[in-house]
C-alpha cells in the first residue's frame, strides 16, 4: 500500500506543473482581453465633444438664419383685424312692435330691421295737416280783405283826385292804412301756410323714422332689442359690421425705420394657423397710440421714464372678400412686413425721406 501511495503522489507532482502552466496562460489571455476592452472606452470619451460641436454648429446656423430674417422682416403680435362697425338705433322714441332680424344675421342695404309704434306719429301728421288747412283758410280770408281794402282805397283816392271837396284827406289816408294792414295780414297768412307745410313735412319725417333700415350690407352683432322694448333716440339697439376689413398693427417706433407704404405683408391669423394671407402696408397713423388715448401721458410732470412707443399701421388685405368671410374685427393676427422691398417713391410715407 505504501508503494502505491508514493506512486500516486509522484504522478500528481508531475501533472501539477502542466496545470499551473495552463492557468498562467489563461490569466495572460484574460489580461490581454481586458486591455483590449479598455481601448474602446478611450474612444467613447470623445463623443460628448463631438455632440457639443454639432450643437454649436447648428446653433450658429440657426442664429445666422434668425439674424438674416430679423434684419429683413419686421413682425408684431400686437395686431388685430379691424373694420367699420355702425351703431343702429332709432331717431325717435317709441315702443318696438317688430324686429325683423336675428343674432348674427346677414342683411342687405335698405332692408327693414325694426319698427316702432307709428300711431302717435300718425296723429301728429293729421294734426299738422289740419293746421295747414286752417292756415290756408286764413290766407284766403286775408286775401279777400286785402282785395276789399284795395277797392275802397282806389274809390276814395279817385274821388279825392277829382274833387277835394268830395272826400277828405283823412279818409284817403285811412283807406290807405287799411289796405297796408290787409296786405301785411295777407303776407303773414302766407307765411303761416309755409310754416304749416313745414310742420306737415316734419311730422311725416318723424313718422318715417318709426321704421329703421340697414344703411349698408353687413352682419348684425350685439342684438339688444326685442318687441315690446321702449327705445330712446340714439339708443344702440344692435351693431352692423360692414364687410370691408383690414388690419391695425401696433409696431414699435424702432421698427418703422425701413417700413414703407406698399411693402408686402405675410399675415398669420391665430384662428386659422394653417392659412397664410397676403396684404400690403397702406398707411401710418400720424401719431402714437398713447398720444390719442383717453388720458395722454403728461411727460412734463413728475419723473420721466422713457418707454418705446407704438404707432398703429394700417395693413390692407390682398385677398378677395370670399377668402376673408370668416374673419371678424377683433381677431388676433401676426403680420410680417418685408422691409427689403422698395416701393415707388410716390407711395412712401412722410417719414421715409427724413
DSSP for 111-125?
Answer: -EEEEE--HHHHHHH
Residue 31 has what pLDDT? 55
Long-range contacts of 274-278 (CB under 8 A, 24+ apart): 277/317, 277/318, 277/319, 277/323, 277/324, 278/317, 278/318, 278/319
Give domain 75-83+244-353's CATH architecture.
Answer: Beta Barrel (2.40)
For residues 195 and 134, give the distance between their C-alpha atoms in angstroms, rounded to a whole number. 12
Residue 334 has what pLDDT? 96
Query: How is the chain split into domains, by residue range?
Result: 75-83+244-353, 118-209
Query: Are the CB atoms for 133 and 200 separated by under 8 Å?
Result: no
Residue 139 has what pLDDT? 80
Digitized pLDDT (tens) for each residue of the chain, 354 residues in all: 444 444 555 444 444 555 455 555 555 555 555 554 444 544 456 778 788 888 888 888 887 777 666 678 999 999 999 999 999 999 999 999 999 999 999 999 999 999 999 999 999 999 999 999 988 888 888 777 787 778 777 777 676 676 666 667 777 777 778 877 878 788 888 888 889 999 999 999 999 999 999 999 999 999 999 999 999 999 999 999 999 999 999 999 999 999 999 999 999 999 998 889 999 999 999 999 888 888 887 787 777 888 899 999 999 999 988 889 889 999 999 999 999 998 764 445 444 444
Residue 352 has what pLDDT? 45
Residue 73 has what pLDDT? 92
**Cα→Cα distances 293→70, 252, 306, 308, 311, Å:** 30, 16, 18, 16, 12
3-state DSSP assignment of residue 20: helix
Could you tell me which residues are beta bridge partners of residue 213? 112
Phi, psi of 192 (to 5 degrees): -65, -35
236: left (phi over 0), alpha (psi -120 to 50) or beta: beta
Hey, what's the cell of 321?
A: 372678400
Residue 165 has what pLDDT? 67
For residues 288 and 232, give the distance between their C-alpha atoms in angstroms, rounded to a whole number. 37
Residue 307, classified by CB atoms within 10 Å of its CB into exposed (0-12), middle (13-18) or buried (19+), is: exposed
**Cα→Cα distances 54→64, 66, 118, Å:** 15, 18, 82
Give strand ranges (E) for 285-319: 310-317
Query: Are the CB atoms for 139 and 193 separated by under 8 Å?
Result: yes
Residue 101 has what pLDDT? 94
A 10 A CB-CB count for 342 gives 13
Amino acid at each position: 500500500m505504501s508503494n502505491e501511495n508514493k506512486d500516486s503522489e509522484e504522478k500528481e507532482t508531475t501533472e501539477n506543473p502542466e496545470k499551473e502552466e495552463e492557468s498562467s496562460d489563461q490569466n495572460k489571455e484574460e489580461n490581454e482581453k481586458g486591455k483590449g476592452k479598455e481601448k474602446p472606452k478611450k474612444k467613447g470619451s470623445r463623443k460628448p465633444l463631438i455632440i457639443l460641436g454639432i450643437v454649436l454648429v447648428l446653433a450658429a446656423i440657426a442664429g445666422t438664419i434668425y439674424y438674416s430674417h430679423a434684419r429683413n422682416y419686421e413682425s408684431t403680435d400686437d395686431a388685430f383685424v379691424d373694420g367699420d362697425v355702425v351703431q343702429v338705433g332709432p331717431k325717435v322714441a317709441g315702443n318696438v312692435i317688430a324686429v325683423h332680424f336675428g343674432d348674427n344675421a346677414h342683411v342687405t342695404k335698405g332692408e327693414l330691421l325694426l319698427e316702432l309704434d307709428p300711431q302717435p306719429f300718425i296723429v301728429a301728421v293729421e294734426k299738422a295737416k289740419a293746421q295747414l288747412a286752417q292756415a290756408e283758410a286764413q290766407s284766403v280770408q286775408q286775401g279777400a280783405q286785402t282785395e276789399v281794402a284795395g277797392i275802397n282805397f282806389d274809390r276814395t283816392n279817385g274821388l279825392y283826385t277829382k274833387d277835394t271837396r268830395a272826400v277828405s284827406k283823412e279818409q284817403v289816408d285811412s283807406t290807405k292804412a287799411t289796405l297796408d294792414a290787409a296786405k301785411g295780414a295777407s303776407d303773414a297768412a302766407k307765411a303761416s301756410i309755409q310754416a304749416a307745410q313745414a310742420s306737415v313735412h316734419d311730422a311725416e319725417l318723424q313718422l318715417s323714422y318709426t321704421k329703421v333700415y340697414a344703411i349698408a350690407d353687413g352682419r348684425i352683432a350685439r342684438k339688444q332689442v326685442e318687441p315690446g322694448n321702449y327705445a330712446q333716440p340714439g339708443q344702440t339697439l344692435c351693431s352692423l359690421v360692414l364687410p370691408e376689413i383690414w388690419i391695425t398693427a401696433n409696431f414699435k417706433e424702432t421698427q418703422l425705420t425701413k417700413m414703407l407704404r406698399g411693402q408686402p405683408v405675410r399675415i398669420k391669423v391665430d384662428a386659422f394657423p394653417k392659412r397664410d394671407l397676403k396684404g400690403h402696408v397702406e398707411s401710418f397713423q400720424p401719431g402714437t397710440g398713447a398720444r390719442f388715448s383717453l388720458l395722454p401721458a403728461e411727460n412734463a410732470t413728475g419723473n420721466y421714464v422713457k418707454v418705446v412707443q407704438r404707432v398703429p399701421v394700417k395693413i390692407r388685405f390682398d385677398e378677395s372678400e370670399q377668402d376673408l368671410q370668416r374673419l371678424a374685427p377683433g381677431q388676433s393676427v401676426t403680420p410680417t412686413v418685408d422691409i427689403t422691398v422698395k416701393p415707388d417713391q410716390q407711395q412712401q410715407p412722410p417719414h421715409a425721406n427724413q
